[in-house]
Structure 1
Amino acid sequence: MSQTIEAPRTPVRPARKKGVNWEKWGWIYMRASGVILVVLIFGHLFMNLIVGDGVKAIDFAFVGGKWASPFWQWWDVAMLWLALIHGGNGMRTIVNDYARGKMTRGILKGAIFAAVAILILLGTLVVFTFDPCPVGQPADLLPSFCAA
């Protein structure tokens, strides 16, 4: 009785189908977004904690003044989008690794996608529609830098 042992590097999986390799692009995105996020996060921390008066200076007026500049709006939105998509892609990878059933995987990945999409939408709206001095509000409720 003889047994045949396959060569050690024989592929276990069938050959890859034609089309876009989403796993490869997800892997590349994680590396690229990670590098960009490091720059964005350290720039954010540097401007908020080192350049100004530190943590004690961060309040409503600080955020209002910072978001008055389109540069800082786009900086924060880029950080928000990259971080949420980066985290969502990481969670998708975990689901692919550990979820057993195809339906379970689909439900979990759908929930991750929905959460990321809703948070991106709401966060972007907050940054671009933020108004520290809303019209028609009582003067005692407005910050000190607003003209009453």
Structure 2
Amino acid sequence: MEKEHDRPASLDHPRAPRRPRGIPYFEKYAWLFMRFSGVALVLLALGHLFIMLIWDDGVYRVDFNFIAQRWASPFWQIWDMALLWLAMVHGANGMRTIIGDYSRKNVTKFYLNSLLLLATGFILVLGTYVLVTFDASIGVNQ
């Protein structure tokens, strides 16, 4: 039988911290995602800046034809898609954390998170649509 003094005092206190509700371990995985996506974003962004601004003639060669040639390669489409998705989800996760820290009311938190989800989804769908459906032939003069 359990003795009275073996129980933690926090179990008897009405304001004792409770187990968080929601998806188990979500905050842990969100924290891990921020760390790993941050490292990946640094590498992707530095590579992007190097290719676009320094390599060859740098920014002077960037025009529609350059982008059309670049996006003709699946490698660069995947590179830019990874940059878009990681940046948006990383930023949205950071904003979700800020909303959680500074929203006092659950209703405010709900509406701000809903707006954030809609905006993130819209930008991801639009950016993905542009990357997937890009047609280089529209730039050719007929």
TM-score by length of 2: 0.83
Q: 2:53 aligns with which of 49, 53, 75?
A: 49
Partner in structure 1 of residue 27 of structure 2:
23
Q: Matched residues in 1 for 2:51 and 2:64: separation? A: 16
Aligned Cα root-mean-square deviation (Å): 2.1
Q: 1:126 aligns with which of 107, 124, 130?
A: 130
Q: Where does residue 60 of structure 1 map in the other structure? A: 64
2:84 maps to which of 65, 80, 84: 80
The structure with the greater share of residues assigned to helix is 2
* 1:64-96 Cα deviation digits (max 9, x unpaired): 111111100010000000000000000000000
Tell me which residue corresponds to 1:70.
74
Q: Name the amino acid aligned to 2:74.
A: P
Moved over 3 A (4+): 15-19
**Cα deviations across residues 10-54 of structure 1 (Å, max 9, x unaligned)?**
x95224569522111111110000000011111111111222211
Taking every aligned residue pair, what percent have the same amino acid on both sides?
A: 45
Deviations 1:96-140 (A, max 9, x none): 000111011000001101111110111011011111213xxxxxx
Matching of residues 104-123 of structure 1 within 5 Å: 104-123=108-127
SS of the aligned residue for 1:133 comes to helix
Corresponding residue for 1:137?
Answer: none
**Aligned partner of 2:36 among 15, 32, 38:** 32
CA–CA distance in structure 2, aligned partners of residues 74 and 98 of structure 1: 36
| Distance (Å, rounded) in 1 between the aligned partners of 2:16 and 2:76 | 50
Deviates more, 1:16-25 or 1:93-102: 16-25
What is residue 18 of structure 2 aligned with on the other side?
14
Q: C-alpha distance in 1, partners of 2:26/2:107? A: 19
Aligned residues: 130
Q: Secondary structure at the match of 2:129?
A: helix
